[in-house]
Amino acid sequence: MVLQQKSIFLFVVAAALRLAVFYLFPHITSVLSEQAEIATPVSSYKRLLEGLFLYERGVSPYDGGVYHQAPLLLVVFEFLPPAAVFTLLDMLIAYNIATIAERLALPSPRFRKLDGGQLAIAYLFNPFTILSCLGHSTTAFTNAAITQAIASASTGDAFGTMFAAALGSYFSLYPALLLPPLILLWAQTKKVQLQLQSIVAPAAVFVGTLVLLLSVSALLVGNLWDVLISCYGAQITVTDLTPNIGLWWYFFIEIFDAFRNFFIGVFWIHLIGYVGALTIRLPEQPLFVISSLIGLITVFKPYPGISDVSLYLGLLPLYKHIMPLTRYTFVAASVLLYATLLGPAFYHIWIYAGSGNANFFYAITLVWSLGLSMLVGDSLFAVLRDEWEMLRPEMRGKDVRQI
Protein backbone atom coordinates (compact mmCIF):
# COMPACT_ATOMS: atom_id res chain seq x y z
CA MET A 1 0.00 0.00 0.00
CA VAL A 2 1.52 3.22 -1.16
CA LEU A 3 -0.74 5.55 0.77
CA GLN A 4 -1.26 5.84 4.48
CA GLN A 5 -4.62 6.45 6.04
CA LYS A 6 -4.01 10.14 6.55
CA SER A 7 -3.07 10.56 2.91
CA ILE A 8 -6.14 8.70 1.75
CA PHE A 9 -8.25 11.06 3.81
CA LEU A 10 -6.56 14.06 2.19
CA PHE A 11 -7.09 12.50 -1.26
CA VAL A 12 -10.77 12.33 -0.50
CA VAL A 13 -10.73 15.92 0.70
CA ALA A 14 -8.99 17.05 -2.51
CA ALA A 15 -11.53 15.21 -4.66
CA ALA A 16 -14.42 16.53 -2.60
CA LEU A 17 -13.05 20.07 -2.87
CA ARG A 18 -12.98 19.85 -6.68
CA LEU A 19 -16.41 18.26 -6.95
CA ALA A 20 -17.89 20.73 -4.49
CA VAL A 21 -16.59 23.69 -6.47
CA PHE A 22 -17.98 22.20 -9.67
CA TYR A 23 -21.32 21.68 -7.95
CA LEU A 24 -21.51 25.02 -6.15
CA PHE A 25 -20.11 27.21 -8.93
CA PRO A 26 -21.16 25.58 -12.18
CA HIS A 27 -19.98 28.59 -14.20
CA ILE A 28 -16.42 28.46 -12.94
CA THR A 29 -15.32 26.19 -15.77
CA SER A 30 -16.50 28.51 -18.49
CA VAL A 31 -14.73 31.43 -16.78
CA LEU A 32 -11.47 29.59 -16.12
CA SER A 33 -11.36 27.81 -19.46
CA GLU A 34 -11.08 31.20 -21.13
CA GLN A 35 -7.98 32.19 -19.18
CA ALA A 36 -4.91 32.30 -21.38
CA GLU A 37 -2.84 30.79 -18.57
CA ILE A 38 -5.07 27.73 -18.27
CA ALA A 39 -6.42 27.08 -21.73
CA THR A 40 -4.04 27.05 -24.68
CA PRO A 41 -5.11 26.25 -28.25
CA VAL A 42 -4.08 22.63 -27.70
CA SER A 43 -5.58 22.16 -24.24
CA SER A 44 -8.65 24.34 -24.19
CA TYR A 45 -11.85 22.71 -23.02
CA LYS A 46 -13.94 25.23 -24.99
CA ARG A 47 -12.25 24.14 -28.19
CA LEU A 48 -12.79 20.54 -27.21
CA LEU A 49 -16.52 21.21 -26.82
CA GLU A 50 -16.52 22.75 -30.30
CA GLY A 51 -14.82 19.65 -31.68
CA LEU A 52 -17.24 17.44 -29.76
CA PHE A 53 -20.21 19.33 -31.19
CA LEU A 54 -18.99 18.75 -34.73
CA TYR A 55 -18.03 15.15 -34.00
CA GLU A 56 -21.42 14.27 -32.53
CA ARG A 57 -23.07 15.60 -35.67
CA GLY A 58 -20.97 13.47 -37.94
CA VAL A 59 -18.69 16.27 -39.13
CA SER A 60 -14.93 16.06 -38.84
CA PRO A 61 -14.04 17.80 -35.55
CA TYR A 62 -11.16 19.55 -37.30
CA ASP A 63 -13.39 21.22 -39.88
CA GLY A 64 -13.87 24.35 -37.84
CA GLY A 65 -10.13 24.96 -37.57
CA VAL A 66 -10.53 25.46 -33.82
CA TYR A 67 -9.91 22.00 -32.41
CA HIS A 68 -6.30 20.80 -32.35
CA GLN A 69 -6.45 17.95 -29.84
CA ALA A 70 -6.40 14.19 -30.15
CA PRO A 71 -9.60 12.55 -31.43
CA LEU A 72 -9.77 9.99 -28.60
CA LEU A 73 -10.51 12.80 -26.14
CA LEU A 74 -13.79 13.28 -27.98
CA VAL A 75 -14.83 9.73 -27.20
CA VAL A 76 -13.97 10.22 -23.53
CA PHE A 77 -16.11 13.32 -23.20
CA GLU A 78 -18.87 11.92 -25.32
CA PHE A 79 -19.68 9.48 -22.54
CA LEU A 80 -18.18 10.69 -19.28
CA PRO A 81 -18.98 13.76 -17.16
CA PRO A 82 -16.02 16.18 -17.42
CA ALA A 83 -15.96 17.08 -13.72
CA ALA A 84 -15.46 13.45 -12.75
CA VAL A 85 -12.88 12.86 -15.51
CA PHE A 86 -10.67 15.77 -14.49
CA THR A 87 -10.95 15.01 -10.78
CA LEU A 88 -10.02 11.38 -11.41
CA LEU A 89 -7.07 12.41 -13.60
CA ASP A 90 -5.73 14.59 -10.79
CA MET A 91 -6.11 11.69 -8.36
CA LEU A 92 -4.29 9.40 -10.78
CA ILE A 93 -1.41 11.84 -11.25
CA ALA A 94 -1.12 12.31 -7.49
CA TYR A 95 -1.18 8.57 -6.90
CA ASN A 96 1.53 8.09 -9.53
CA ILE A 97 3.70 10.73 -7.89
CA ALA A 98 3.23 8.93 -4.59
CA THR A 99 4.30 5.64 -6.21
CA ILE A 100 7.37 7.25 -7.76
CA ALA A 101 8.32 8.86 -4.46
CA GLU A 102 7.98 5.62 -2.51
CA ARG A 103 10.15 3.80 -5.02
CA LEU A 104 12.84 6.43 -5.16
CA ALA A 105 16.20 5.51 -3.63
CA LEU A 106 19.24 7.61 -4.38
CA PRO A 107 22.87 6.97 -3.37
CA SER A 108 23.35 10.57 -2.20
CA PRO A 109 24.10 10.84 1.55
CA ARG A 110 21.68 13.74 1.74
CA PHE A 111 18.79 11.60 0.51
CA ARG A 112 16.14 10.51 3.02
CA LYS A 113 13.32 8.16 2.26
CA LEU A 114 10.34 10.12 0.93
CA ASP A 115 6.76 9.97 2.11
CA GLY A 116 4.79 9.48 -1.13
CA GLY A 117 1.54 10.65 0.39
CA GLN A 118 3.06 13.99 1.28
CA LEU A 119 4.19 14.66 -2.28
CA ALA A 120 0.85 13.58 -3.68
CA ILE A 121 -0.97 15.93 -1.33
CA ALA A 122 1.43 18.73 -2.24
CA TYR A 123 0.50 18.16 -5.87
CA LEU A 124 -3.22 17.91 -5.21
CA PHE A 125 -3.40 21.11 -3.19
CA ASN A 126 -1.13 23.13 -5.44
CA PRO A 127 -3.26 26.09 -6.61
CA PHE A 128 -1.98 25.63 -10.17
CA THR A 129 -3.26 22.04 -10.15
CA ILE A 130 -6.61 23.01 -8.74
CA LEU A 131 -7.08 25.88 -11.16
CA SER A 132 -6.19 23.83 -14.21
CA CYS A 133 -8.51 21.05 -13.03
CA LEU A 134 -11.34 23.55 -12.54
CA GLY A 135 -10.54 25.08 -15.94
CA HIS A 136 -10.65 21.61 -17.52
CA SER A 137 -7.24 21.87 -19.16
CA THR A 138 -6.84 18.69 -21.20
CA THR A 139 -3.09 18.76 -20.53
CA ALA A 140 -4.15 16.63 -17.53
CA PHE A 141 -4.34 13.63 -19.88
CA THR A 142 -0.75 14.12 -20.99
CA ASN A 143 0.37 14.66 -17.41
CA ALA A 144 -1.37 11.48 -16.30
CA ALA A 145 0.30 9.54 -19.12
CA ILE A 146 3.74 10.95 -18.26
CA THR A 147 3.44 10.22 -14.53
CA GLN A 148 2.09 6.76 -15.33
CA ALA A 149 5.10 6.13 -17.57
CA ILE A 150 7.53 7.26 -14.87
CA ALA A 151 5.71 5.22 -12.22
CA SER A 152 5.79 2.11 -14.42
CA ALA A 153 9.46 2.68 -15.21
CA SER A 154 10.32 2.99 -11.55
CA THR A 155 8.49 -0.26 -10.81
CA GLY A 156 10.35 -1.92 -13.70
CA ASP A 157 7.33 -2.40 -15.94
CA ALA A 158 8.67 -1.87 -19.47
CA PHE A 159 5.34 -2.54 -21.17
CA GLY A 160 3.44 -0.09 -18.96
CA THR A 161 6.12 2.56 -19.43
CA MET A 162 6.04 2.34 -23.17
CA PHE A 163 2.28 2.15 -23.34
CA ALA A 164 1.88 5.24 -21.17
CA ALA A 165 4.62 7.12 -23.02
CA ALA A 166 2.95 6.31 -26.34
CA LEU A 167 -0.36 7.53 -24.94
CA GLY A 168 1.27 10.76 -23.81
CA SER A 169 2.94 11.24 -27.18
CA TYR A 170 -0.39 10.59 -28.83
CA PHE A 171 -1.98 13.35 -26.78
CA SER A 172 0.69 15.99 -27.22
CA LEU A 173 3.82 14.74 -28.97
CA TYR A 174 6.49 16.00 -26.60
CA PRO A 175 6.41 13.04 -24.12
CA ALA A 176 8.27 11.15 -26.88
CA LEU A 177 11.27 13.30 -25.97
CA LEU A 178 11.25 11.70 -22.51
CA LEU A 179 11.85 8.22 -23.91
CA PRO A 180 15.67 8.08 -23.41
CA PRO A 181 15.60 8.93 -19.69
CA LEU A 182 12.52 6.72 -19.22
CA ILE A 183 14.38 3.75 -20.68
CA LEU A 184 17.36 4.58 -18.48
CA LEU A 185 15.10 4.72 -15.43
CA TRP A 186 13.58 1.38 -16.28
CA ALA A 187 17.05 -0.18 -16.81
CA GLN A 188 18.21 1.27 -13.53
CA THR A 189 15.26 -0.20 -11.67
CA LYS A 190 15.63 -3.60 -13.29
CA LYS A 191 19.45 -3.38 -12.94
CA VAL A 192 19.95 -4.51 -16.52
CA GLN A 193 22.77 -3.52 -18.84
CA LEU A 194 21.28 -1.50 -21.66
CA GLN A 195 21.88 -3.14 -24.98
CA LEU A 196 20.19 -2.93 -28.30
CA GLN A 197 18.35 -6.22 -27.81
CA SER A 198 16.90 -5.17 -24.49
CA ILE A 199 15.20 -2.08 -25.88
CA VAL A 200 13.82 -3.63 -29.05
CA ALA A 201 10.74 -5.04 -27.34
CA PRO A 202 9.86 -1.81 -25.47
CA ALA A 203 10.40 0.21 -28.62
CA ALA A 204 8.07 -2.15 -30.49
CA VAL A 205 5.44 -1.66 -27.78
CA PHE A 206 5.80 2.12 -28.10
CA VAL A 207 5.47 2.12 -31.88
CA GLY A 208 2.71 -0.48 -31.82
CA THR A 209 0.67 1.50 -29.32
CA LEU A 210 1.09 4.69 -31.34
CA VAL A 211 0.03 2.95 -34.54
CA LEU A 212 -2.97 1.46 -32.77
CA LEU A 213 -4.02 4.82 -31.31
CA LEU A 214 -3.60 6.58 -34.64
CA SER A 215 -5.58 3.96 -36.52
CA VAL A 216 -8.42 4.19 -34.01
CA SER A 217 -8.31 7.97 -34.42
CA ALA A 218 -8.36 7.65 -38.20
CA LEU A 219 -11.42 5.43 -37.89
CA LEU A 220 -13.13 7.93 -35.60
CA VAL A 221 -12.48 10.96 -37.79
CA GLY A 222 -12.51 9.07 -41.04
CA ASN A 223 -9.27 10.53 -42.34
CA LEU A 224 -5.80 10.00 -40.87
CA TRP A 225 -4.29 12.90 -42.77
CA ASP A 226 -6.83 15.25 -41.19
CA VAL A 227 -5.75 14.11 -37.73
CA LEU A 228 -2.04 14.45 -38.49
CA ILE A 229 -2.34 17.90 -40.02
CA SER A 230 -4.91 19.50 -37.73
CA CYS A 231 -3.73 17.92 -34.51
CA TYR A 232 0.02 17.37 -34.72
CA GLY A 233 0.69 19.72 -37.65
CA ALA A 234 -0.88 22.56 -35.71
CA GLN A 235 1.12 21.69 -32.59
CA ILE A 236 4.40 21.57 -34.52
CA THR A 237 3.97 24.53 -36.85
CA VAL A 238 2.16 26.74 -34.30
CA THR A 239 -0.59 27.87 -36.64
CA ASP A 240 -2.70 29.31 -33.83
CA LEU A 241 -1.00 32.31 -32.25
CA THR A 242 -3.48 32.85 -29.43
CA PRO A 243 -1.53 34.36 -26.54
CA ASN A 244 -0.37 31.98 -23.85
CA ILE A 245 2.31 31.99 -21.17
CA GLY A 246 4.93 30.58 -23.54
CA LEU A 247 7.59 32.29 -25.59
CA TRP A 248 6.47 31.30 -29.06
CA TRP A 249 3.31 33.22 -29.92
CA TYR A 250 4.75 36.73 -29.73
CA PHE A 251 7.90 35.73 -31.56
CA PHE A 252 5.99 34.16 -34.43
CA ILE A 253 3.65 37.10 -34.72
CA GLU A 254 6.66 39.35 -35.20
CA ILE A 255 8.94 37.15 -37.30
CA PHE A 256 9.32 37.84 -41.04
CA ASP A 257 7.14 35.41 -42.96
CA ALA A 258 10.06 34.08 -44.97
CA PHE A 259 11.84 32.95 -41.81
CA ARG A 260 8.85 31.53 -40.01
CA ASN A 261 9.51 27.92 -40.96
CA PHE A 262 13.20 28.24 -40.24
CA PHE A 263 12.61 29.53 -36.73
CA ILE A 264 10.00 26.92 -36.00
CA GLY A 265 12.77 24.44 -36.78
CA VAL A 266 15.22 26.34 -34.59
CA PHE A 267 12.83 26.41 -31.63
CA TRP A 268 12.09 22.71 -31.85
CA ILE A 269 15.74 21.74 -32.30
CA HIS A 270 16.59 23.86 -29.29
CA LEU A 271 14.08 21.85 -27.29
CA ILE A 272 15.29 18.51 -28.63
CA GLY A 273 18.94 19.40 -28.00
CA TYR A 274 18.47 19.22 -24.24
CA VAL A 275 17.32 15.62 -24.26
CA GLY A 276 20.57 14.03 -25.34
CA ALA A 277 22.79 16.38 -23.37
CA LEU A 278 20.94 16.01 -20.06
CA THR A 279 20.59 12.24 -20.41
CA ILE A 280 24.29 11.86 -21.10
CA ARG A 281 25.35 14.24 -18.36
CA LEU A 282 23.27 12.63 -15.61
CA PRO A 283 23.04 8.96 -16.57
CA GLU A 284 22.63 7.88 -12.94
CA GLN A 285 19.70 10.18 -12.21
CA PRO A 286 17.19 9.60 -15.02
CA LEU A 287 14.29 10.68 -12.85
CA PHE A 288 15.88 14.05 -12.34
CA VAL A 289 16.56 14.25 -16.08
CA ILE A 290 12.87 13.62 -16.72
CA SER A 291 11.67 16.24 -14.30
CA SER A 292 14.21 18.79 -15.57
CA LEU A 293 13.19 18.06 -19.14
CA ILE A 294 9.56 18.56 -18.18
CA GLY A 295 10.57 21.90 -16.68
CA LEU A 296 12.51 22.91 -19.78
CA ILE A 297 9.73 21.77 -22.09
CA THR A 298 7.26 23.78 -20.03
CA VAL A 299 9.37 26.87 -20.65
CA PHE A 300 10.17 26.28 -24.30
CA LYS A 301 7.20 24.42 -25.79
CA PRO A 302 4.79 26.27 -28.06
CA TYR A 303 1.64 26.06 -25.96
CA PRO A 304 2.45 25.78 -22.25
CA GLY A 305 -0.14 26.30 -19.55
CA ILE A 306 -0.07 26.27 -15.78
CA SER A 307 -1.05 22.63 -15.91
CA ASP A 308 2.43 21.81 -17.25
CA VAL A 309 3.97 23.85 -14.47
CA SER A 310 1.90 22.00 -11.89
CA LEU A 311 3.38 18.72 -13.12
CA TYR A 312 6.90 20.09 -12.88
CA LEU A 313 6.22 21.45 -9.41
CA GLY A 314 4.74 18.07 -8.52
CA LEU A 315 7.89 16.20 -9.57
CA LEU A 316 10.47 18.65 -8.24
CA PRO A 317 9.96 17.73 -4.54
CA LEU A 318 11.23 14.23 -5.36
CA TYR A 319 14.63 15.88 -5.13
CA LYS A 320 13.93 17.91 -2.04
CA HIS A 321 17.17 16.63 -0.51
CA ILE A 322 19.11 18.98 -2.80
CA MET A 323 17.26 22.02 -1.46
CA PRO A 324 20.18 23.06 0.79
CA LEU A 325 22.43 23.16 -2.28
CA THR A 326 20.23 25.48 -4.36
CA ARG A 327 21.14 29.12 -4.50
CA TYR A 328 18.30 31.09 -6.07
CA THR A 329 15.11 29.33 -4.98
CA PHE A 330 13.93 32.39 -3.11
CA VAL A 331 14.39 34.64 -6.11
CA ALA A 332 12.86 32.06 -8.46
CA ALA A 333 9.86 31.55 -6.17
CA SER A 334 9.33 35.29 -5.82
CA VAL A 335 9.57 35.79 -9.58
CA LEU A 336 7.03 33.03 -10.20
CA LEU A 337 4.68 34.42 -7.59
CA TYR A 338 5.03 37.92 -9.00
CA ALA A 339 4.36 36.71 -12.53
CA THR A 340 1.40 34.60 -11.36
CA LEU A 341 -0.26 37.65 -9.87
CA LEU A 342 0.62 40.14 -12.58
CA GLY A 343 0.03 37.85 -15.55
CA PRO A 344 -3.79 37.79 -15.41
CA ALA A 345 -3.79 41.49 -14.53
CA PHE A 346 -1.75 42.43 -17.57
CA TYR A 347 -3.80 40.14 -19.78
CA HIS A 348 -6.92 41.90 -18.58
CA ILE A 349 -5.35 45.31 -19.15
CA TRP A 350 -4.43 44.35 -22.69
CA ILE A 351 -7.47 42.39 -23.86
CA TYR A 352 -10.40 43.76 -21.87
CA ALA A 353 -9.50 47.17 -20.51
CA GLY A 354 -7.59 48.20 -23.61
CA SER A 355 -5.28 50.39 -21.54
CA GLY A 356 -2.21 48.24 -22.19
CA ASN A 357 -0.82 46.44 -25.17
CA ALA A 358 0.51 43.00 -26.01
CA ASN A 359 3.96 43.92 -24.69
CA PHE A 360 2.61 44.09 -21.13
CA PHE A 361 1.50 40.50 -21.20
CA TYR A 362 4.50 39.28 -23.16
CA ALA A 363 6.87 40.95 -20.72
CA ILE A 364 5.24 39.15 -17.81
CA THR A 365 5.41 35.82 -19.61
CA LEU A 366 9.12 36.48 -20.15
CA VAL A 367 9.48 37.02 -16.42
CA TRP A 368 7.53 33.87 -15.75
CA SER A 369 9.74 31.85 -18.10
CA LEU A 370 12.80 33.39 -16.51
CA GLY A 371 11.60 32.29 -13.09
CA LEU A 372 10.95 28.75 -14.29
CA SER A 373 14.30 28.46 -16.05
CA MET A 374 16.00 29.76 -12.91
CA LEU A 375 14.30 27.00 -10.99
CA VAL A 376 15.36 24.38 -13.54
CA GLY A 377 18.92 25.69 -13.77
CA ASP A 378 19.29 26.02 -10.02
CA SER A 379 18.07 22.50 -9.33
CA LEU A 380 20.37 21.21 -12.05
CA PHE A 381 23.28 22.99 -10.42
CA ALA A 382 22.33 21.54 -7.05
CA VAL A 383 22.19 17.99 -8.39
CA LEU A 384 25.56 18.39 -10.08
CA ARG A 385 26.99 19.74 -6.84
CA ASP A 386 25.49 16.82 -4.98
CA GLU A 387 27.14 14.42 -7.42
CA TRP A 388 30.41 16.20 -7.02
CA GLU A 389 30.22 16.05 -3.28
CA MET A 390 29.66 12.30 -3.49
CA LEU A 391 32.86 12.14 -5.52
CA ARG A 392 34.74 14.45 -3.17
CA PRO A 393 33.12 14.20 0.25
CA GLU A 394 35.75 16.48 1.74
CA MET A 395 34.39 19.45 -0.27
CA ARG A 396 31.02 19.49 1.50
CA GLY A 397 29.89 22.95 2.48
CA LYS A 398 32.71 24.72 0.67
CA ASP A 399 32.15 27.42 -1.92
CA VAL A 400 32.63 26.42 -5.52
CA ARG A 401 33.13 28.47 -8.58
CA GLN A 402 32.94 27.58 -12.19
CA ILE A 403 36.25 27.29 -13.96
Residues forming contacts to another protein in the complex (CB under 8 A) are 180, 184, 187, 193-194, 256-259, 261-262, 264-266, 269-270, 272-273, 276-277, 279-281, 283, 391-392, 394-395, 398, 401, 403
Comparison of 1 and 258: residue with beta carbon closer to another protein: 258
Which residue type occupies 58?
A: G
Give the nearest distance from C-beta 362 to another protein in angstroms.
16
Q: Which is nearer to another protein, 120 or 271 (CB)?
A: 271
Tell the smallest beta-carbon distance from residue 268 to another protein (Å).
8
- How would you classify residue 255: left for phi > 0, otherwise alpha for psi between -120 and 50, otherwise beta? beta
Least Cβ distance, residue 393 to another protein (angstroms): 9
Q: Which is nearer to another protein, 223 or 237 (CB)?
A: 237
Using alpha carbons, select from 59, 95, 43, 51 the residue that is nearest to residue 77.
Answer: 51
In the complex, minimum distance from the CB of residue 280 to another protein, in angstroms, rounded to a whole number? 5
To the nearest whole angstrom, how small is the minimum distance from the Cβ of residue 189 to another protein? 13
- The beta-carbon contacts of 258-264 under 8 Å, at least 24 apart in sequence, are 261/237, 264/236, 264/237, 264/238
Euclidean distance between CA atoms 217 and 31, whole angstroms? 30
Name the residue nearer to another protein (CB basis): 360 or 388: 388
Q: How far is the CB of 193 from another protein (least distance, A)?
A: 6
Rounded Cα gap, residues 141 and 308, in angstroms: 11
Q: How far apart are CA 393 and CA 253, in angstroms?
A: 51
In whole angstroms, give the CA distance from residue 152 to residue 140: 18
Minimum CB distance to another protein smaller for 222 or for 273: 273
Residue (6 or 281) nearer to another protein, CB: 281
Q: How far, in Å, are 90, 102, 105, 122 from residue 117 at the CA level?
A: 14, 9, 16, 9
